[in-house]
C-alpha cells in the first residue's frame, strides 16, 4: 500500500474547521498541534510505504492518531470512533471534515509497521529537544515503574472462587513477562519500564525489561544512552551499589544516588528534583494507560511504552511554550 500525501488545497469545510478551532486556540491539543513539528518524522515513515498501489492514510497523520490515543488514554477501538466524530481530534490528527478516518485495524497495522524505525524516531525526538534547548543537562534521574502484564495470574486450587473454575492458571498468556517485586510484600507479574529524566522532566532514556530485572543493573545503560552527558546523576536507594558508584566516578559524573539508610541533608536539593519523576510515571500510567499492558510480548509492549513516553515528552513541551 502506498501513502496518500496530504492535500494542500483548502476546501470550504477546512475553512469552517479553522473558524471553529479559533475558539479553542488555548486547548492543549491545539497548542501541541501548532508547536510540535510532527513533519520531522516523515523521512522515517514514508519509506515504510510503497510508491505503488492504492493510496492509504498519510503516515504522519497516523502517527498523530497513535499519539492522541496515548494523550487521551484511548483504546484503538475507541480512538477510531472518537477521531471520526470529534472535530478537535480530527484537527489534531490532520484530517479535514471531508476525510475518511482510520479504522482500529489500520491503527493496529500502523503500530506494527513502525516498529523497525521506532529507534530512529525516538532518537529524532530527543535530538530535537536538545537542539532547541529544552533539555537541562545538569542532572539525570533514573527510576523504574512496574507494569502488570495482560495475563492470568497463577492461583492455587484453594484460592479459586469456586469448584467450577477449570481454567489453568499455571499457564501465563505473556511469555516475555516475569514475576517481580514492588516491595517485600507486594509482587507483580509483568514488566518494568526503566527511564531517565533530565532537570526539566523530559524523558531522555528508556528501556523495558521483564519484572524480575533488578533496577540497579539498568543504571549504567540508561545514563550512557541519554542524548547528553549529564553533570550529575541521582536515583533512589535501590540503585545504590559499589558498582554504580564506581561507574559514575570513572566517567566523571557526580554521584547523587540516595544511599542506604539515612538521607543526607546536603543532598536535599537533589532529592526534591528526583521527585519530579513520579509525575512522569503518573502520566504514562494514567493517561498512557500503562497500569496494565494492552498487548502481549515485549516487542509490542515496549513499542506501546515508547508511544506513551513520546506523548509525555510532547505534552511536557506545553510547560515551556
How many CB atoms sit inside 10 A of residue 260's CB?
A: 9
Helix (H, G, I), strand (E, B) or coil at 148: strand
For residue 278, what pLDDT is reported? Answer: 85
Count of beta carbons in the 10 Å neighbourhood of residue 134: 18
- What structural domains does the chain harbor? 2-120 (no CATH), 133-319 (3.30.420.10)
Tens digit of pLDDT for each residue in 208-260?
999 999 999 999 999 999 989 999 999 988 899 999 999 999 999 999 888 87
Residues of the chain with pLDDT under 70: 1-17, 19-20, 52-54, 151-172, 261-271
CB 124 within 8 Å of CB 60: no
pLDDT, residue 157, reads 47
193 CB contacts (<8 Å, ≥6 apart)?
144, 145, 147, 206, 207, 208, 284, 290, 305
**pLDDT for residue 267:** 65
CA–CA separation, 203 and 126 (whole Å): 8
DSSP 8-state secondary structure symbol assigned to residue 256: -
Q: Is 103 exposed, middle or buried (0-12, 13-18, 19+ CB in 10 A)?
A: middle
User: Could you tell me the CA-to-CA distances from 40 to 119, 126, 261 in Å, in that order?
Assistant: 14, 12, 47
- In the chain, at which residue ranges do the beta strands (DSSP E only) sit? 2-3, 55-56, 139-148, 178-183, 186-197, 203-210, 232-235, 254-255
The C-alpha cell at 87 is: 472535530
pLDDT at residue 241, rounded to an integer: 92
The whole-number pLDDT of residue 81 equals 94
**Cα gap 259→162, rounded to integer Å:** 48
Cα separation, 93 vs 68, whole angstroms: 8
Tell me if 179 sits within 8 A of 187, measured CB to CB: yes
Residue 144 has a CB neighbour count (10 Å cut-off) of 26
Amino acid at each position: 500500500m502506498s501513502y496518500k500525501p496530504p492535500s494542500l488545497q483548502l476546501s470550504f469545510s477546512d475553512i469552517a474547521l479553522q473558524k471553529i478551532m479559533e475558539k479553542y486556540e488555548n486547548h492543549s491539543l491545539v497548542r501541541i498541534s501548532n508547536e510540535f513539528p510532527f513533519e520531522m518524522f516523515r523521512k522515517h515513515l514514508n519509506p515504510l510505504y510503497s510508491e505503488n498501489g492504492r493510496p492509504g492514510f498519510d503516515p504522519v497523520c497516523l502517527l498523530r492518531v497513535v499519539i492522541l490515543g496515548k494523550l487521551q488514554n484511548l483504546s484503538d477501538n475507541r480512538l477510531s470512533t472518537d477521531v471520526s466524530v470529534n472535530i478537535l481530534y480530527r484537527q489534531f490528527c490532520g484530517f479535514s471534515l471531508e476525510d475518511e478516518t482510520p479504522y482500529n485495524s489500520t491503527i493496529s497495522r500502523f503500530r506494527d509497521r513502525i516498529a523497525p524505525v521506532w529507534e530512529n524516531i525516538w532518537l529524532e525526538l530527543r535530538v530535537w529537544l536538545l537542539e532547541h534547548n529544552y533539555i537541562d543537562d545538569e542532572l539525570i534521574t533514573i527510576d523504574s515503574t512496574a507494569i502488570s502484564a495482560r495475563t492470568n495470574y497463577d492461583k492455587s486450587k484453594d484460592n479459586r472462587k469456586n469448584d467450577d473454575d477449570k481454567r489453568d492458571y499455571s499457564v501465563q498468556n505473556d511469555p516475555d513477562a516475569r514475576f517481580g517485586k514492588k516491595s517485600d510484600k507486594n509482587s507483580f507479574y509483568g514488566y518494568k519500564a526503566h527511564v531517565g529524566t533530565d532537570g526539566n522532566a523530559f524523558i531522555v532514556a528508556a528501556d523495558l525489561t521483564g519484572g524480575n530485572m533488578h533496577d540497579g543493573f539498568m543504571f549504567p545503560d540508561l545514563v550512557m544512552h541519554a542524548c547528553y552527558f549529564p553533570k550529575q546523576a541521582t536515583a533512589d536507594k535501590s540503585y545504590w551499589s559499589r558498582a554504580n558508584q564506581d561507574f559514575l566516578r570513572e566517567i566523571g559524573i557526580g554521584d547523587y544516588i540516595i544511599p542506604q539508610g539515612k538521607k543526607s541533608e546536603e543532598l536535599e536539593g537533589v532529592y526534591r528534583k528526583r521527585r519530579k519523576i513520579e509525575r512522569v510515571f503518573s502520566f504514562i500510567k494514567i493517561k498512557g494507560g500503562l497500569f496494565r499492558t494492552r498487548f502481549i510480548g515485549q516487542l509490542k509492549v515496549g513499542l506501546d511504552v515508547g508511544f506513551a513516553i513520546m506523548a509525555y515528552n510532547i505534552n511536557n513541551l506545553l510547560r515551556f511554550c
